[in-house]
Structure 1
Amino acid sequence: MGDVAQKDATGIVGHACGRHGCYVPRSVVDLQKGERQANVDWSFQECIKGMNLGSIQKILHIYDIACQYCKKLRLRLE
């Protein structure tokens, strides 16, 4: 019992609607061994695909490490 159990996921990341507070379907993903930009990128892309944006051309993406996350974001998403 002294050993710490091995975990497949160390946390989750997801995207929610700021207006309604509900999570965007398929945007909640597991984080393996800490936050990796690939996991957050996947969640963000699923969020964009899953939202009914209509004529909305801009979104506000709030993330606690946004200053680091936004570096080369456009290249990663391409």
Structure 2
Amino acid sequence: MFGEVIEGIEDKKWTAKLRKLVPDLVDLEEHWILPRCPEPYGDDIWNPIDYYTEDVAKGAINKAEKVLNIITKFIREYYNIKL
């Protein structure tokens, strides 16, 4: 879905920057889907205690902060909105 949104942006500089976020967004997707749908494949219930380590959590936080910072800059510059 994010890819479709990017295609509607006319500024090529921002299109390129936002495309680079797609892999991070794909990685982050599991962090918000699994807590909402803890039985993704009909298997045992997904338990975050069994999955998350400090490194996994820090990696997700770093990716989320990166995405948030770039999207915030995009909104400020492209739409001239103060956040």
TM-score normalised by L of structure 1: 0.28
Instruction: Write 1 or 2 for the structure with the bigger share of helix.
Output: 2
Larger Rg: 2
TM-score normalised by L of structure 2: 0.27
